[in-house]
Amino acid sequence: MNKPCLFCEIAAGRMEADVLHQDDHVVAFRDIHPQTPTHVLVIPRKHITSMLDIEPVDAELLGHMHVTARDLAKRLGIAESGYRSVFNCGRDGGQTVWHIHLHLLGGRSMGWPPWPGN
């Protein structure tokens, strides 16, 4: 049997997570290894393996993920100071979980561009 997808399990409530928001289409929860004082993952309930697999029909869902991230940024007090939203894709993009997720990062100043090692 294939190993169940970690983020599908969190979305279904079968695996524990610090959930901050959920609705019919997305779930948002705190990253287990936060890289910034505020680090939240916004995932679609629909299993999509990578950003390479998104389809035109997913456009509204992806927009909803960004609106959710913006609302959470306001709620968590990082909207004024600023935040970063990131989708990592594939090996060089640093993707390690194969169910798309938006990283909402904030609470400290971040460098740009992402030099090697950052």
State the Cα–Cα distance between residues 118 and 111, nearest whole angstrom.
8
Residue 31, interface with ligand 5GP (CB under 6 A)?
yes
> Residue 41 forms beta bridges with which residues?
29, 103
Half-sphere exposure of 95 (CA within 13 A, CB side): 17
Write down the least CB distance from residue 26 to Zn ion, Å.
13
Write down the least CB distance from residue 82 to ligand 5GP, Å.
20
Q: Which of 21, 64, 101, 103 is catalytic?
A: 101
CA neighbor of 68 nearest in space, from 27, 30, 19, 106? 27
Residue 27, interface with ligand 5GP (CB under 6 A)?
no
- Would residue 101 show up in a list of annotated catalytic residues for this protein? yes
Strand order in the sheet with 83-86: 19-22, 26-30, 38-44, 102-106, 83-86
Quick one: 28 or 73, whose CB is closer to Zn ion? 28
Question: Which of 32, 52, 59, 67 touches ligand 5GP (CB under 6 A)?
Answer: 32
State the Cα–Cα distance between residues 27 and 103, nearest whole angstrom.
12
Quick one: 27 or 73, whose CB is closer to Zn ion? 27
Active-site positions?
101
Q: Which stretches of the chain bind ligand 5GP, using CB under 6 A? A: 6, 17, 29-33, 41, 88, 94-97
